[in-house]
Amino acid sequence: MCFIAVDSSAGIIVLMAFYGFFSGSFVSLPPTVIVQLSGDAREKIGTRLGQSFAFVSIGLLIGTPIGGAILDNKGFDALWTFGGSMLFASAAFLIMARVAFKGWGWVKA
């Protein structure tokens, strides 16, 4: 959502550098977390990865046309706002899942 405030080429370069640095976590962390949550049930890791990516595919299938409709009707600022709000919502769900599974503590049990 910081993209809305950027109005120069230098700002875009800085923003994209941050995006490139942090976007790798969207690809690399979910499988790592699923393996960690699976614990000793190694035979279920593949099933759990498949189920998680099935849920991701629903979001991709629905989100892309919604994003196109927002872009056509409201423009890029509304599209960035929509994308940012969906990112925050997904982070909230991940935090709730983590708390439900392990509690608020961050130490290894």
In a domain, 108, yes or no: no
CA torsion through residues 62, 68, 74, 80, sign: positive
From the centroid of its chain, how far is CA 22? 11
In angstroms, rounded to a whole number, what is the distance separating the alpha carbons of residues 92 and 100? 12
Per-residue pLDDT, 72: 96
Per-residue pLDDT, 1: 62
In angstroms, rounded to a whole number, what is the distance separating the alpha carbons of residues 89 and 93? 6
Per residue in 9-62, pLDDT (tens digit) is 898 899 889 888 888 887 888 888 888 888 888 888 889 999 989 988 998 899
Can you give the residue range of the structural domain that contains 61? 2-102
In a domain, 65, yes or no: yes
In a domain, 41, yes or no: yes
Per-residue pLDDT, 54: 94
In a domain, 7, yes or no: yes
In a domain, 107, yes or no: no
The count of domains in the chain is 1
